[in-house]
Structure 1
Amino acid sequence: MPESSNTHPAASGGGPVRDGIPEHGRIPRYYAVKVELLGLIAELGEGAALPTERELGERFDVSRATIRQAVGELVLEGRLSRRQGSGTFVAGPKLVQPLALGSYTEGLRRAGIQPGRTLITLETVPAGAALGADLRIARDDRVVHIERVLLADDERVGLESTYLVADRFPGLLEVFDPADSLYACLRDRFGVRFEGADERVETVLATPREALLIGTNPALPMLLMHRVSWGPDERPFERVRSLFRGDRLSFSTRLTP
């Protein structure tokens, strides 16, 4: 039986944690501890070390298993971060990336964050059936494949895989610097104008390869974005698959009627 608490001062009064309280009013003990930990996190501040499981167990009068469950959820939510051999620390705020027809580079720079990339793959390959259908080309037509780890202030936060119709961008491999913005290169070198895109966002778990490249726990939820973009001629020219750490990034957009 999980530890539970019928009353808890931090969980009453319709505050920000009200949505976590079931209708019967009985709060799992780990959740009550999680609420207390949120207050402690606010007091400690970004980068501060969290007390040990033993110390927290004594402080809240619960078992270490209960502490472990509460801390684990806060790690998954990006409120805390674990450093192997060092302990658990208060994480910084999530990076906010706008959902817009713009590049990753431009979005982070507007937020005062230094973007970066590490090249993994740069090649030309046949499109295949599924990619060819998305880009409206034959399966044997060639596409340029660019795969890069995405950085924010030198922290690995995602993995981006872009496929471009090779015939529309002759010589791209020779002129593109993988450390720079791809969209800037397409705009400046090839005169590309983005007219629109279809984008889909879902939550997934990273594959072992992806987790290794991003440097994250395979059990950590990830945000996966699929995008197909086109220009004024309405012909698709790129498909992008972007995988982002759910504990470090969030996305925003403005909706208007």
Structure 2
Amino acid sequence: MKYALVTGASRGIGKAIAINLAKTHHYNIILNYRSNTEAAIKTKKLIEKEGVICELLQFDVANTENSKNRLEEFAKNNPEATIEVIVNNAGITRDGLFMWMKSEDWNSVINTNLNGFYNVTQPLLKKLLQHRYGRIINIVSLSGLKGNAGQVNYSAAKGAVVAATKALAQEIGKRKITVNAVAPGFITSDMSADFDEKELKKLIPLNRFGEAEEVADLVSFLASEKAAYITGEVININGGLYT
């Protein structure tokens, strides 16, 4: 049975991606979330309406041991499962000027956004290589490409994942495993709820924020056979704000 794992998938962009992969590619879904069980259960029900299995897997991607143990537990309980697609979407922000940034705000953002990529992807890589097929898709950010004042920690973490995406793509391409990154700009979500949309959209050539479903469509394409010759790429989806 073929599965796609989406981290941070109870809400927002992760939720849209998980639903799209179920609907478009009929992947069974492993829905990772950290704490919001109520939202995860609601998303699970929406995914299961597409006629696929949805397994909830609660763990914090920032925790190396917890991530490894939960993924091993899933594999042990589902020996017939093959995880073909990994979408590293889980992310947090702790914004503030670098001059006054506390070490915990630096470390928590690095641990979730950068180390989370390692903690989820590395334990699953051996089986992907044995399977000789796979898609690894990392959700990065406009901030990781152009930098963003007040987000030195977030920009550093996402920029590092961009570099890791390009390097890992070179390591495993011969096994028909692609590794790509998707870099959203301003997307309507919980993370952007406090933004001044009226002012910010003036900076965007398309004059609006993007929708989570639009990001999900791009991820869905990269997860498909049609994207077999695309790897090591960072694809912007930002309405023309930065290219």
- The TM-score range, normalised by the shorter chain, is under 0.3
Structure showing greater relative contact order (alpha-carbon pairs closer than 8 Å, 6 or more residues apart):
2
Larger radius of gyration: 1
**Hey, which of these two has a bigger chunk of helix by percent?**
2
| Structure with more of its chain in strand, by fraction | 1
Q: TM-score, normalised by structure 2?
A: 0.26
Normalised by the length of structure 1, the TM-score is 0.25
